[in-house]
A and B are shown apart, each in its own frame.
Chain A
Amino acid sequence: MSGGLAPAIAFDRITKRFGAVVANDGVSCEISPGSIHGIIGENGAGKSTLMSILYGFYQADAGEIRLDGQAVRIHSSADAIRLGIGMVHQHFVLVEPFTVLENLALGHEGGLMLQPGLDRARAEARRIEAAYGLAVDLDAKVEDLAVGARQRVEILKALYRGARILILDEPTGVLTPDEAQQLFQILRRLKSEGKTVLLITHKLKEIMAATDRVTVMRAGRVVGDVATSGTTEADLAERMVGRKLAPLPDRVPVAPAAPILRAEGLSVIDAGGVERVRGIDLDLRPGEIVGIAGVSGNGQSELMAALAGLTPLAAGRLVWAGVPVPAEDTAMALRRLGLGHIPEDRHKNGMIGAFEAWETSVLGYHRDVGHGQGAWLRPGFIRALTRQRMVDYDVRPRDERLRTAAFSGGNQQKLICAREMARGPKVLLVGQPTRGVDVGAIEQIHARLRALKAAGTAILLVSVELDEILALADRILVMVDGRFTGELDRSEATERALGLLMAGVRDEAA
């Protein structure tokens, strides 16, 4: 560390246990003031626990935290804010119908009347905006803002509350590449103004692009602490996973076959009356991975829901192996026919947080032969099955009676993948399979998808990660505003060509 100046944050042998699980095991690391410090690690490596201790959500069982050389006790997020620590959560905590300014002033209104507090907040916000180059429309309602802008509101809020240290938890998970670039510019500006930034991410590219120093965690311990300039993506990935990553296997060519699931002229109109999917035709063939690329919010989610039979169709129909799928209880019919679905929003759709892992691991398949007997579930059988899947898919901790919500995001995703893949679906719909998931788990999920493809499953992959689409898909469709605006074979697809199609520039890419 730079001599003389005490580290902005020093974690000193932090240990935190949850029952038998040691989430942080003697974690020590120092973060220099005025730097951007990255923390990476697999799911369950203990990054989030460490940040939660810093932000006062948890108390460490042992060890201490020093801010600028002073030992501090942080009992609550209020303590953390008082000490100048600001947190930008992965899931934003903003009051959506309020304006940006009202969100800033929330909790700091001061006095009985609202207006003086708002005026003060406006003056202060203007000053912060000018100082850090954060452009936000203070009078816009949060619900009208794009995701990137909402994130800037969160940063502004943290700064407004006097943060010297800013923690960002997976900040780019919801951003377009462009918005991510803007975010990094803001972070660099914050750094140049003397703020300390802690960046929690699983994206190695971002670590390399944005940070000065990086701490690698694995299984609750620090396994590396290096200057970013002195390391490489591959080196970080290996430290994180604890082994060398396998090189990508060669692509298996697709044998031409009749489509198993065919969509004919699908249209979906949402509750607000907006046509989200506009007359889409799509064929899914055995042994082929079709990728759908596009900026999030162009109808991909609605298309997935329609293909899974979860949304009523405004027009068009689904045909399974030549036979039209019934319009009543479509979802049930499709599942019976052999449709698997890894939903893009796992918390909302893929799992039930309060269910124990074994209960979540048959969600949607609970009526399958073997899982039930007559009208009854077979808990013993399902628990044994779940235990086995936890081993096969490396879900940790291996406790089938733990509540689903208590697993880390990546392990929840593995549990869901296991459920949807293990029964050998004929068609698998996959939405953002690696969102918020670490390198090791990504590698594993991708390998599983390739294996299913080899076994003859027709796979539809929707992802906002171009890397992921390029790594897996045989055929890539670009979706803009509810329509397919381009179709590329893998051999002719490049990030640039896709990017242009995604932006709606047609001729140049073709």
Chain B
Amino acid sequence: MRRDLPMLVDYVLIPALNLLLAFLVGAIVLALIGVSPVAALGTLLDGAFGSLDGLGYTLYYATTFIFTGLAVAIPYQAGLFNIGGEGQAMLGGLGVTLVCQAMGGYSLWLVLPLAIVAAVTFGAAWAAVPAILQVKRGSHIVITTIMFNFLAAAFMTYLLIDALRAPGDPSPETGAFPASTALPYAHEWAARLGLAMEESPLNLSFLVALAAAFLVWLFIRRSLLGYEIRATGLNPSAATYAAIPVGRVTVLAVCLGGACAGLVGINEVMGVLHRLVLGFTAGAGIVGIAVALMGRNHPFGIVLAAILFGALYQGGAELAFDYPQVTRDIIVVMDGLVILFCGALENMLRVPVTRAWARWRTVPA
């Protein structure tokens, strides 16, 4: 596509400038509490990327964020804002749990596809209800998906206390799954390759996430349904004119978003926890909104944004570990600043950068 701005400026320079601004304000906050911003940045980067296991944690977080980012991005293409990634992820985890509990002893290469199908189906089904309410009744999907997050949480609480809890276990979680259903960890593969990698939760799911991002891109840009989803999102009345069944397409887009959110269960439940634990999503669905915003709702942008947020999570944890002044709340402030500048204020620099680019380009001509 011909653009006002080259891809490089649009997708790299502007996000980088936004990030820089977030870090600058973050530096001021750190300086105010008596931490050297330069040293802190060093700690953060070293924690996130400085070692194989640090990188492992970063990519492990990123895996979940890719799924929840895609959960926002696909419905967004149809013009809807899916806030329900959190609840859809919980239901996805439930689907994974049912498969893993039932399929002990079978080959992982049989269990994994089934678990993926279950995660996708459960996530999509949970998203379908708000989507249908939106299309048939005009109930605003932002409101209904938020409500469905609470419903999902309550449903999971019920299940994990009254139905799925391991007998005799005082905490709200299932018993451990059969060991044969556990996904291989990256450090296990690294050891086989002779690389020294300390333990990290990074597992096979990362590859599933990358594949999901690629498939979503292919689907949105190249498939007939993707075309119909984009047409519906960009101009619903033109889509109607083109005999596109706008209602069905909208429901489909939201369900596909829910399906991606459901895959969080693969990473967290099947890959790391090996049991269903109450609250395993830990707000990842909400972070996914920021990831999608920062990644400009483009699957590849979402992968990069997810890695950035993974790095902030992991590096932030290191920061909190190294500096007593840096509390959990300060990390939340840092994340908030990145969301603020890269998500909410994403367009703040766009106008001046576009102007500057136009001026810079016309001078040599």
Contact = CB atoms under 8 A, between A and B. Distances in A.
A349 B235 CA distance: 8
B195 to A, nearest CB: 39
B163 interface: no
Nearest to A336: B243
Given A329-B245, A402-B2, A403-B2, A376 B234 contact: no
Contacts of B231: 352, 355, 363
Interface stretch (B12-20, B89-97, B114-122, B220-228): B220-228
Nearest to A374: B224
Contacts of A355: 230-231, 234
A364 B235 contact: no
A499 interface: no
Contact of A363 (B222, B223, B225, B242): B242
A348 B238 contact: yes
A363 B2 contact: no
Contact of B243 (A332, A348, A352, A399): A332
A364 B222 contact: no
Contacts of A356: 1
B241 interface: yes
Interface residues of A, number: 36
Interface in B210-228: 222-225, 227-228
Given A355-B231, A376-B224, A350 B245 contact: no
B150 to A, nearest CB: 34
A331 interface: yes
Interface residues on B, range: 20 to 34
Given A352-B234, A353-B234, A375 B2 contact: no
A348 B234 contact: no
B2 A364 contact: no
Contacts of A61: 362
B223 A348 contact: no
B243 A359 contact: no
B237 interface: yes
A367 interface: yes
B240 interface: yes
A470 to B, nearest CB: 28
Contacts of B244: 364
- Most A CB contacts (10 A, CB to CB) among B2, B230, B242, B244 go to B242
Nearest to A308: B241
Given A329-B245, A331-B243, A376-B222, A359 B2 contact: no
A369 to B, nearest CB: 12
Interface in B1-30: 1-2
Contacts of B243: 309, 329, 331-332, 334-335, 364
Give chain A's interface secondary structure class: loop
Contacts of A322: none
Nearest to B218: A376
A356 B227 CA distance: 12
A62 to B, nearest CB: 10
B362 A375 contact: no
B241 A343 contact: yes
A350 B235 CA distance: 10
Given A352-B234, A353-B235, A355-B234, A377 B224 contact: yes
B238 A377 contact: no
A350 B238 contact: yes
A19 interface: yes
A399 B1 CA distance: 10
A341 interface: yes
Contacts of B240: 310, 331, 349
A377 B227 contact: yes
Contacts of B1: 356, 401-403
Contacts of A364: 241-244
A372 B227 CA distance: 11
- Most B CB contacts (10 A, CB to CB) among A309, A355, A403 go to A355
A96 to B, nearest CB: 18
Given A341-B241, A343-B241, A366 B224 contact: yes
Interface in A441-486: none
A345 to B, nearest CB: 9
B245 A363 contact: no
A138 B237 CA distance: 34
Interface in A330-386: 331-332, 334-335, 341, 343, 348-356, 359, 363-364, 366-367, 372, 375-377, 379
B356 to A, nearest CB: 14
Contacts of A359: 227
Contacts of A377: 222-224, 227
A321 interface: no
Given A61-B362, A310-B240, A403-B1, A367 B235 contact: no
Contact of A372 (B224, B237, B238): B224
A406 B243 CA distance: 25
B347 to A, nearest CB: 16
Given A367-B224, A375-B223, A376-B224, A310 B241 contact: yes
Given A329-B243, A376-B224, A402-B2, 20 more contacts: A331-B240, A348-B235, A349-B237, A349-B238, A349-B240, A350-B241, A352-B230, A352-B235, A352-B238, A355-B230, A355-B231, A363-B231, A364-B243, A367-B224, A376-B222, A376-B223, A377-B222, A377-B223, A402-B1, A403-B2
9 contacts: A310-B241, A335-B243, A349-B240, A350-B241, A352-B230, A352-B231, A366-B242, A377-B224, A403-B2
Interface of B: 1-2, 222-225, 227-228, 230-231, 234-235, 237-245, 362
